[in-house]
Amino acid sequence: LNQEIITGTVVKVTDREVFVDFGWKSEGVIPLKELGYKPKVGEKIEVCIVEPETEDGYALLSVNCARSIREWERLADEIEKKGVVKGVIKQRVRGGYKVRLENGLTVFLPMSQVDIMPVTRPDDWLDREIEAKVLSIDRKRRSIVISRRKLLEEERAKRRKETLKKLKEGDIVEGLVKNIVDFGIFVDVDGVDGLVHKSDISWSGLKTPFDVAKIGDRIRVKIKKIEKDKERLVLSLKDVKPDPWERIDEIYTPGMEVEGEVVKEDRKGYWIYLPEDVAGYVPFENLPKDLKLKYKHRYKFIVDSLDKEKRRVILRWPQEEHQK
């Protein structure tokens, strides 16, 4: 009720109060001190209702409330025309942040609209000065929602066209990791979205997207394909380095000792991650009876053979005592 502006008419003025007819059965009263001057009878005044009925039977009115609403509307009109605002993130609230703008207004920045990448450390954004786009203005509720993400996306869209003209398939470029999921890594290459599928993460095939990068990292990738109609890139992480199987005979020879990390177990043995991004495999039959290898632990093995067709180094346990 007190958030609505009503126009009333001055009907009586005393030394301390101003009586106003604002359309109700009883009149409303404004403290003269709040009004700041002595109005004339018949003058129109904008007010808000603070209290519907006092002990004296009058409604308590406020001109300051109406003035602050008019000022809010003026500032809201101002930023609506600009479309873009600057401010400081002041407080975390449910679902986002309160941002104090340069003109003094406090607006809402949803968490999903903070950045192109997911926000993983919300407190790091506090007290940061930002520039953002005005998303919506609700004059009835007097709330304004802004988006930094939308502004960034518009800037990226401008860069994307230029970047796509420069890029070529086969180029090795640097990109920013935007997100990581089970099936791959999303990378921003100077405004163009790209995906490194999990099959292009490593030559060994034993690394997951989460093993090789984290959000915010800058990584080097090779452009496998440019999908110009969709304005996106198909990327590879493994192709930045030569395929180790092209010179596997130089890297590993039967009988040599190697050290690797246990990454997974299947029905017939253990998969071992070896140096040079090579997959090693030790069948249960090549291990001492009842020996259980521990996940993520490193062990020494002997190269038994090279399975070039399946691109894996077959390993066996050294003849010496069990390793700790």
| Residue ranges of domains in the chain, CATH in brackets | 5-66 (2.40.50.140), 83-151 (2.40.50.140), 167-236 (2.40.50.140), 245-316 (2.40.50.140)
Q: CB of 240 within 8 A of CB of 279?
A: no
Distance CA 269, CA 265 (A): 6
Print pLDDT tens along the chain (324 aa): 447 899 999 999 999 999 999 988 889 999 999 998 999 999 999 999 998 888 888 999 999 999 999 999 999 999 999 999 999 999 999 999 999 999 889 999 999 999 988 888 999 999 999 999 999 999 888 899 999 999 998 888 888 888 888 999 999 999 999 999 999 999 999 889 999 999 999 999 999 999 999 999 999 999 999 998 888 999 999 999 999 999 999 999 999 999 999 999 999 999 999 999 999 999 999 999 889 999 999 999 999 999 999 999 999 999 765 555
Q: CB of 273 within 8 A of CB of 261?
A: yes
**Amino acid at site 280:** G
Q: What sections of the chain are H helices per DSSP?
A: 32-35, 63-82, 148-166, 209-212, 248-251
